[in-house]
Structure 1
Amino acid sequence: MDTALSRQRRLFENNRFHFKRQNHADSEVQVVEGLVRARLKIAIVTETWPPELNGVALSLLQICKGLQRLGHKILLIRPDQKQKCLDFAPNKECLVTGQVIPKYTQMQFGWPQYRKVSKAFDEFMPDIVHVVTEGPLGLAVLQSAKSKNIPISSGFHSAFQDFSRFYDLAFLVKPIQHYLKWFHNNTQLTCVPSQDTAQAILDFGVTCPIEVIKTGVDVEKFSPVFKSSAQRRKWGACENTTVMLYVGRISPEKEIQLLIDTYISMRREPERKLKLVIVGEGPDRVRLEKYSQTAGVIFTGSLTGNVLAEVFASADVFVFASQVETFGNVILEAMASALPVVAYDYAAAKLHLDANTAWLCPLGQKQNFIQNMQQLPNNKTLHAMGQQAMKNVQSVGWNHCVQQLEQAFYRVVQETEITA
C-alpha cells in the first residue's frame, strides 16, 4: 500500500530531471536552465554541528545554507546543544539527546531515538535522507529511512578506522572498518571529499556508488587583507620572524608533537627567528602545552570568525602533519589567507597544492616532512609562494560543491523512482 511519503515523491521524466506533477504549488519547483526541477525536501543527519569547531560541522553548515538558497527544504536531525547556531535556520529540526564524547568534551554524539526520528520523517516527508555521520544517531536514521523506503545517501568525512591507531585501540580497526563498510553499503550513494578518501573506502569494501564532492572555502572570510601587525606583536614576532601556524584539533592523530619537535630543533639556529602558533582545542593540548612550555610555543585555544581569519593572515607558513584527513579544510583556508603549506601529498593538499605553493611529501615519510620544515626559505619567498596559493584557490568556492551534491541527490531520488 502506498505511504503518504511515496505519494508525495517527485517523478522525473528523464535524467535531466524534468519535473511533472499536476496541481503543484509554485514553492515546490524551481526553473534551472529552462528546466522545471523539483525542490527537494532533504533530511540532513549529523552528530556534529556549529558552534562545534571541526571541518565536518563547518562544511555542513555551508552546504545546508547553499541547498536552502537553491530552494530546497531542510530537516536537520542532530543532537541538542547548549549553544545555538545563529547562522542557519532549518525548515524543520529534530533534536535528540546528546552525549559528550570521552576526551572531546566540546563534541557529542546523538542518542538513537528511533521513534522521534520516525515521527519527524512522517511530518516532514523527505524526498531523500543524507546521513553525514555514522554514529548511533546515524544508525537509527538509517534503519528508520529504510523501513519507510526513503532514498538514503551518506557522507564519509572522518577516518575513524585510522584514528583508533592513535589511542591504543588498534584492535578496533577491523571491527570499525566492517561497521563502516556495512553502513555505507546500506545507502544508495556515499559522498566523499577527495579521491584519496574514495580509494580508502573502496579498499575496505564499500561497494555502493561513490561520488567525490569537493569542499570549498570562503575567500572573503579568509584573505591576506586581514594581516595584522598587532597580532604578530602579540606573538613576539617582528617582520623578519617566520611564524609557522597550525590550526585544527589538538589530538594525537594530528601529529602536532612532530611540529613541536621540529620547531625546537630549528630554534637551535640562532640566525633565524621563529615562532610556532597552534590554534585549537583537544585532548592532547594540556600535555603538549606542558611539553613545549620552555620552547615558546604559542597555544591560542579555539578561534573563530574575524579573529581566526586574522591569525591565518598574520602567519608566514602553514604546517600540517596529519596523515588521517578525509580532506583537510584548513589547507584551503591557509591558501586563501596567502600562506604556503608544508603537508603530506594527499587529500586537499594533493588536489590544490604544487611545488610553487607548498612542500609536499609522501605519506609515511616523516623525515621528509621534517626536512621540509627545516629548509623553509626566507619570508620574502614564503610570501611570494603564498600569493600564488591565494590566486589558485580563488575559484574554489562553495557554490560548485553545493550544486554537485544537489545533482547527486536528484540522481538518487530518480533512481529510486525508476526501481520502485
Structure 2
Amino acid sequence: MRIAIFSDTYAPEVNGVARTLKRYTNYLDTKGIEYRLFVPESRTPVPKVPHIERFMSIPFLFYPDCRLALPNPLYIRQTLDEFKPTLIHVATPFNLGLFGLHYGKKHHIPMVASYHTHFDDYLAYYHATLFKKWIWKYLHWFHHSFDRVFVPSESTKQKLIDRDFHPSIDIWGRGVNHQFFSPAKKSSDVRKKYRIKEKNILLYVGRIAPEKDVHIVLETFHALPPHMKEQTHLLLVGDGPLFQTLSAKPHPQITWTGFLEGEALSEVYASSDLFLFPSPTETFGNVVLEAQASGLPVIGAKAGGVQHLVSHGVNGFLCEPKSTKAFAHYTAFLLEQKSLRRSFSEKSRAFALTLSWEEIFNGLLYSFYQIASQKQEISA
C-alpha cells in the first residue's frame, strides 16, 4: 500500500489533528508503509523530509490558526504520478484536499476522508453564523465522492448521520501514550517553578481560543467557596488568540504557562488534582485523554467527543455546556471529597489504558485494505 495524505495541519503545529497525524505517519514509518504527505508550510522552521511536501500558506479566514496551503498543482501531480498511490487519504476539505480529491477521481484511486473539526460550531464564536448553511453544503459536496469517511467519536458520527452526510461513516478513535502521560510523572518541581503554595491545583490544557470556552474555567475558579478558593491554584496551559487578553489580568492564584510540551507538560498533568475542560466543540478531546492517563478526574462539557471519555460519577463529571454553576459545583465537590477523587483518579487511568494507538492504527489500516480490495473487485 502506498498512501497519499493531504492535510491543512501537521507537526510541529500544536493541535489535536496535527498531533494525531504525526502519530499516524510515525506508525506508517514503523510498518514500512510508503506514504507522501502534502501539508502547508509550518510557521516554525523544520528540516526537509523527502516524503513530506510543504507549501506556502495563508491563514484561514474564520480560523486564523488553521492554514490554507497555496499548492503547486503541476508539482503535486508530478509527485503523485511518480509515487503511484494505491489509496488517497484526505484530512482537509480545503485547497490541498481538493487537489487530492480531484486526482483520486481522475485516476480511479480508492479514497478516504477523515473529518476532524466541527467548523459549523466554530462559526458562532467568530461571529460568522451567516455561513453555516453554505459550509454544510460545501462539506456535503466535498465528501460524497469518498469511499468512506472516518470520524473520531460516536457523537461526531451521529451528527453526520443526522445530516445524511455520507453512506459509509466509521470511527477512527484516538489513543494516548500511557508511559509518557502517567501519574508517575508527578513532580514537586511544578510547584516550585510556578510558585504554587496552595493545597489544590486545577488544570486546563488546550488552545486559549474562543471555541474552547476558557472563560468558564476562570469563572469556575472564582465561583468556588471562599475557603476553598484560597486553597486552590489554577494553571492554564496553552497558547492561542485569547492568550494575551486573558493573561493580561494578573491574579496571584492563576498562572498562564503558555505552550508546554515534553516532560514539562506531562509533569504538569501528573502534579495537578483536577482537570477542567468546558469546550463543547470537540470531535474527540485529546487533552482529556492525556489528563486521564495522568490520573486526573475530569470535569468536562456534556457535548461532543468529551462525553464519550468521561463517565459521569465514575471517573469525573459532565456538565451542561457553558454552565459555570455546574462546573463550580462539581469542582468544589471533588476538591472536598479526597477519597472519591482518588477513586476517580484510578478509574481515569484505567480507562486511558484501554485506548492504545497501536490497536487504533491497526484497525484503521485494516479498513484501508478492505476499501482498496472492494474497489478492485468492483473495477474487475
Flag whether TM exceeds 0.5 (same fold). Answer: yes
Per-residue deviation at 1:412? Answer: 1.6
Mark the structure with the bigger radius of gyration: 1
Number of the residue aligned with 2:217: 259
Deviation by residue 1:389-418 (Cα, 9 ceiling, x = unmatched): 112211311011101110111122112112
Number of the residue aligned with 2:244: 286
Number of the residue aligned with 2:191: 232
Contact 1:74 1:90 in 2 (8 A): no
CA distance in 2, matches of 1:213, 1:104: 24
Against the structure 1 CA distance between its residues 346 and 401, is the aligned structure 2 distance closer, same or farther, given a 3 Å change threshold?
farther
Contact 2:279 2:321 in 1 (8 A): no
Number of residue pairs aligned between Structure 1 and Structure 2: 377
- List alignment gaps of at least 5 residues for structure 2: none
Against the structure 1 CA distance between its residues 104 and 211, is the aligned structure 2 distance closer, same or farther, given a 3 Å change threshold?
closer
Number of the residue aligned with 1:79: 40
Q: CA-atom RMSD, angstroms?
A: 2.2
Deviation by residue 1:278-297 (Cα, 9 ceiling, x = unmatched): 1111111122223x423632
Deviation by residue 1:279-325 (Cα, 9 ceiling, x = unmatched): 111111122223x4236321111111111111111111100000000
Amino acid at match of 1:371: H
Aligned partner (choices 264, 278, 290) of residue 321 of structure 1: 278
Answer yes or no: is 1:244 the counterpart of 2:202.
Answer: yes
Number of the residue aligned with 2:308: 351
Secondary structure of residue in 2 paired with 1:386: helix
Contact 1:319 1:342 in 2 (8 A): yes
Secondary structure of residue in 2 paired with 1:286: helix
Number of the residue aligned with 1:335: 292
Against the structure 1 CA distance between its residues 189 and 84, is the aligned structure 2 distance closer, same or farther, given a 3 Å change threshold?
farther
Per-residue deviation at 1:100? Answer: 3.3
CA distance in 1, matches of 2:30, 2:266: 25
Identity over aligned pairs, percent? 29
Number of the residue aligned with 2:266: 309
Number of the residue aligned with 1:115: 74
Aligned partner (choices 336, 340, 344) of residue 378 of structure 1: 336
Answer yes or no: is 1:42 the counterpart of 2:3.
Answer: yes
Secondary structure of residue in 2 paired with 1:253: helix
TM-score, L = length of structure 1: 0.84
Against the structure 1 CA distance between its residues 216 and 90, is the aligned structure 2 distance closer, same or farther, given a 3 Å change threshold?
farther
Answer yes or no: is 1:361 the counterpart of 2:313.
Answer: no
Amino acid at match of 1:282: G
Per-residue deviation at 1:233? Answer: 2.9
Number of the residue aligned with 1:7: none
Answer yes or no: is 1:221 the counterpart of 2:180.
Answer: yes
TM-score, L = length of structure 2: 0.92
Answer yes or no: is 1:188 the counterpart of 2:188.
Answer: no
Answer yes or no: is 1:167 the counterpart of 2:126.
Answer: yes
- List alignment gaps of at least 5 residues for structure 1: 1-39
Amino acid at match of 1:247: V
Amino acid at match of 2:326: N
CA distance in 2, matches of 1:90, 1:415: 33
Answer yes or no: is 1:154 the counterpart of 2:113.
Answer: yes
Against the structure 1 CA distance between its residues 185 and 329, is the aligned structure 2 distance closer, same or farther, given a 3 Å change threshold?
same
CA distance in 2, matches of 1:327, 1:183: 22
Deviation by residue 1:89-117 (Cα, 9 ceiling, x = unmatched): 97623322222346976652212433222
